[in-house]
Amino acid sequence: MDGFIGLITELILEAGIRKEHIFHNTALELPGFFRPTKEWDLLVVRDRQLLLSLETKSQVGPSFGNNFNNRTEEAMGSALDLWTAFREGAFNKTIRPWLGYVFLLENCDGSRRPVKVKEPHFKVFPEFVSASYAKRYELFCRKLVRERHYNSAAFLTSEHKTGLNGSFNEPAEDLAFLQFAKSLVAHVSAYSD
């Protein structure tokens, strides 16, 4: 994910934010509400105001099932912790920070194969019935944004071999990287130096 973080950093610089306000290797901890701190992948902090916080995750097979549950719980928990800490005044008095999520999934048979659901007591929501892990991640990223836990999300897939050379796919137009980047740049541009 370092390549995406590097690209996003370049976009932030081009939007007029100076390098000293961008953190991507060190000083990535933010106070939480349910835990003391959370380390993010990229932050923009200017004049003691958090402008942007970014989480990036990837998954390469083979254990898609266990990792899917862990990734979804982590992303939801991180957002809840950040927004609750924001509400309680841990950072920023009035500026609402921009929160982004980028997920890269290996494009392989295991991620594209339909997955059965267990329904011993109640029916699952219909969109999950026979959905592959790729579809589940797509739905998850979309729901993160629709439920306003994150301002924007990008869902990308890549094959193991070609991904090392920077090749990726965008299965859903509304979760494409360009749309994600436009939202991010629009926000940070308002606070450019």
Q: Is the pLDDT of residue 167 over 90?
A: no
Q: Is the pLDDT of residue 109 over 90?
A: no
Q: Which of 130, 68, 79 is nearest to 103 (CA)?
A: 68
Q: Read off the tokens for 159.
A: 């094959």
Q: Among all chains, which residue has been given the structure tokens 């090749």? A: 167
* Every domain of the chain and the residues it spans: 2-189
**pLDDT confidence of residue 38:** 96
Q: Determine the 3-state secondary structure of 22 from DSSP.
A: strand
Give the separation between CA 100 and CA 103, rounded to whole angstroms.
10
The pLDDT of 141-168, averaged and rounded, is 87
Question: What tokens does 178 get?
Answer: 């360009």
- Is residue 32 scored above 90 in pLDDT? yes
Residue 20 exposure: Cα atoms within 13 Å on the Cβ side = 4
| DSSP per residue, 37-84 | EEE-SEEEEETTEEEEEEEEEEE-SS-HHHHHHHHHHHHHHHHHHHHH
Average pLDDT, the chain: 92
Residue 159: pLDDT over 80: yes
Confidence check: pLDDT of 94 > 90: no
Cβ(100)–Cβ(184) below 8 Å: yes
Cα separation, 97 vs 44, in Å, equals 9
List, for residues 39-61, the tens digit of each pLDDT value. 999 999 999 999 999 999 988 87
Neighbours of 89 (CB within 10 A): 9
Q: Give the least confident one: 101-105, 149-153, 168-172.
A: 168-172
At residue 164, the pLDDT reads 64
pLDDT exceeds cutoff 90 at 122: yes
